[in-house]
Structure 1
Amino acid sequence: MPSTVADKKIVDLVFGTRPNIIKAAALYAAWQERRTKCPFSLRLIDTGQHWDDTLSHNQRVALGLPEPACNLGVGPMLEKQRQRSNARPFGREAVITSTQNAYEHILQTAPPAASIAIGDVNGSVGIARGAVKHLIPVFHLEAGLRGGCDAIAEEANRHELDHICSYLWAPDETAQTNLQNEHIPATKITVTGNIMIDALLRFSPTKPPQAPTALTQNTILATLHRAENLASPARFNEILTAIFKIAQDHPIVWPLHPRTRSLLEQSGRFNEISGNICLLPALAYPEFMTYLKQAKLVITDSGGILEECAYLGKRTVILRPQTERPHAMAHCGFRHAEPHGLTKQTDMALHSTPTSFQPAGWQGNAAIRMLEDITSRLF
């Protein structure tokens, strides 16, 4: 007879930020479809690194991800500490240490057979450090990405996760090569394919719903959230100037990350926003993908969105000097831009012919390979 869920070993699937909720949802959905045959159950843990409803709760509900077994509440806890001390926003090590400490409380009372840490966020490093300390194997989902020096914290996180985790899920051969070049044993690495393509194929609408007023095929979609673009008021203002100029000729839909909205409000430049710019709150993934599919061009400083843009063949301008996803750059003709060159690069991109990129491992089967890898390694 097949074992019941209660009889099975537990593997922790940990998320805590908007992009990692999307990746976790794709993996969890695949496990749900195979749970009667899987020798383990997935226990959902939310670090609470993103606690705004638009980035967390609404995202999870829209993707059908159940209430997590535990929310570590790291974000709200650190924010309260910051407000009490009137200190600057909490940094990388504060998030990592708080996440590790909170997760260790769970490990001491209800340890899993393994943990899954996703991506390159601070919370994932805290989870991995805690699990390693308690001799619990850790799988790093999205291992081997390397992007150079512009995303300093993320690059440090990627490197640490890949060197302390037990098993590494590389999305492609480029990532696998990066890991091998750092002398990581091949026996620890599995090329799984790209989980974001699983999410795109599973969760993005195949037919757009009733189109919002702002949604047309002539729209530019903009996203902006990275600290490298927001921390400097001068750089942020230069980006705003470029976006306002682009909007003189092209309608722009701009879903705002809560941090970006706050900075925009503080900038005193709200009165410069024309009717050609449609500001939206941060969107749940399915709704966001509706806008992305319809856009004629995407301006972004995101990493993950580049993969959807590549798969769909979208013209894309990247507001970063480098990216950890160079394969998409090489095949799709994406353009890098500094703020002062954003208008020029956008114009050049609009006159280019986009090319779709759907390499091996981008067929929507990454989650299945991950489930099989856990099974073969641990059970």
Structure 2
Amino acid sequence: MKFITILGARPQFIKAAPVSRELRKRHTELIVHTGQHYDKNMSDIFFEELNIPKPDYNLEIGSSSHGKQTGRMLEKVEDILLTETPDYVLVYGDTNSTLAGALAACKLHIPVVHVEAGLRSFNKKMPEEINRIMTDHVSEYLFCPTKTAVKNLENENVDAKIINVGDVMYDAVEYNRQLAETQSRILENQQIKPGSYHLITVHRAENTDDPIKLSNILDAFAQIEEMKVWPLHPRTKNKISEYGLDLSSIPNLKIIEPVGYLDMLKMESNAKKILTDSGGVQKEAYFVQVPCVTMREQTEWVETLEDDANILVGTNTDEIVQAVIKEVEPSYKPYFGSADAAEKIVEQLT
């Protein structure tokens, strides 16, 4: 069979890698990179280090408004599907690329396979939530990472084949974690001692585009006396400057440039706690068994909240500080499968 996989952001390539490796043992796969997120690290070395298949098509769409970006993707993806005539189209997660790929395929009557289906934050102000819902409702196969995701789809009476295969991101973490330990030199290069720091990531628009929320987050960081390491996202850096906020008053804060996937895994695995607003980082924290503090009002990954493995705090300064100070002893459970989701997906499709 012939498959076309539609991807648009670096995390999607990492999630798709385990599936692609399994898929190509039995079938033909072409990868379309929409170029939704430009990343200078998306070079040959990125694909070679992580053993990720390189894209067959790069649409170079780039950043734009949601409507314009999705529309341009739809047009270009449709042309490729008409030319290549695949048996199935695979999409991942909840980006505009996910939705555009799903819509282009279903309008051409090509069955859509949605990996990481069924997630819900129940907040429709998030564009990702709209993308997830619409993609799930036009897909033929819905591969879910958790039992909760299956229940969400059943509650919506989605007409598709719904299968809990576990989380492909767990596959990716397990595949690359040992590689990160042996190859990454990020801690040595930054002169950071394992277990001595809290790792920070802040990038979500709902936080960075609101000066009050962003200020509250920085106020919390200023009250946390322990070492903090922050690979600062360029967009977040620009917003901090735009709002006239000051990082220099935050004690024991080490700002570094954004890091690659292996370096990030190494830093996550060796942190005391992780402070984030990223959905993916919440899960990676759970997989590497490091306590997490999530600066959002909701999370799709409700399983991580058990036993305070992940504490949801929003952007309230005091709550962030108290969650960081709090001593926790989580019991990490196999909610996300056994790191064999890719094998299960390919077996079902075959």
TM-score for both structures, normalised by structure 2: 0.91
| Distance in 2, Cα, partners of 1:333 & 1:285 | 22
5+ unaligned residues in a row in structure 2: which ranges?
Answer: none
Query: What root-mean-square deviation, in Å, do the aligned CA atoms of Structure 1 and Structure 2 show?
Result: 2.2
| Distance in 2, Cα, partners of 1:251 & 1:150 | 36
Is the contact between residue 27 and residue 367 of structure 1 (CA under 8 Å) also seen in structure 2? yes
Q: Which residue of 2 aligns with 1:197?
A: 170
| Distance in 1, Cα, partners of 2:235 & 2:41 | 12
Is the contact between residue 205 and residue 289 of structure 1 (CA under 8 Å) also seen in structure 2? no
2:235 corresponds to 1:259 = yes
Equivalent position amino acid for 1:266 in 2: E
2:306 corresponds to 1:330 = yes
Q: Which residue of 2 aligns with 1:83?
A: none
Is the contact between residue 194 and residue 361 of structure 1 (CA under 8 Å) also seen in structure 2? yes
The superposition leaves residues 149-187 of structure 1 with CA deviations (integer Å, 9 ceiling, x where unpaired) of 1762111111111101111001121111110110124x5
Equivalent position amino acid for 1:218 in 2: S
Equivalent position amino acid for 2:23 in 1: W
Aligned-pair CA distance for 1:50: 0.8
* Number of residue-to-residue matches in the alignment: 345
| Distance in 1, Cα, partners of 2:117 & 2:240 | 34
| Distance in 2, Cα, partners of 1:59 & 1:351 | 37
Regions of 4+ moved over 6 Å: 55-58
Aligned-pair CA distance for 1:271: 5.7
Is the contact between residue 25 and residue 64 of structure 1 (CA under 8 Å) also seen in structure 2? yes
Picking from 1, 9, 13, the partner of 1:21 is: 13
Equivalent position amino acid for 1:19 in 2: P
Q: Residue 204 of structure 1: SS of its match in structure 2?
A: helix
Distance 1:276 1:29, change over 3 A: farther
Deviates more, 1:232-241 or 1:103-112: 232-241
The superposition leaves residues 231-280 of structure 1 with CA deviations (integer Å, 9 ceiling, x where unpaired) of 1122222222222332xx11111112232132234344456265722222
Is the contact between residue 198 and residue 226 of structure 2 (CA under 8 Å) also seen in structure 1? yes
| Distance in 1, Cα, partners of 2:77 & 2:273 | 41
| Distance in 2, Cα, partners of 1:282 & 1:54 | 10
Q: Residue 205 of structure 1: SS of its match in structure 2?
A: helix
2:287 corresponds to 1:308 = no
2:262 corresponds to 1:286 = yes
Picking from 320, 323, 333, the partner of 2:296 is: 320
Q: Which residue of 1 aligns with 2:55?
A: 68
Q: Which residue of 2 aligns with 1:145?
A: 119
Q: Which residue of 2 aligns with 1:178?
A: 152
Equivalent position amino acid for 1:359 in 2: P
Equivalent position amino acid for 1:17 in 2: A
Aligned-pair CA distance for 1:14: 1.9
Q: Percent identity?
A: 30
Distance 1:27 1:346, change over 3 A: farther
| Distance in 1, Cα, partners of 2:251 & 2:16 | 37
5+ unaligned residues in a row in structure 1: which ranges?
Answer: 1-8, 80-89
Is the contact between residue 317 and residue 346 of structure 1 (CA under 8 Å) also seen in structure 2? no
Is the contact between residue 228 and residue 252 of structure 2 (CA under 8 Å) also seen in structure 1? yes
Picking from 355, 360, 374, the partner of 2:330 is: 355
| Distance in 1, Cα, partners of 2:248 & 2:44 | 32
TM-score for both structures, normalised by structure 1: 0.84
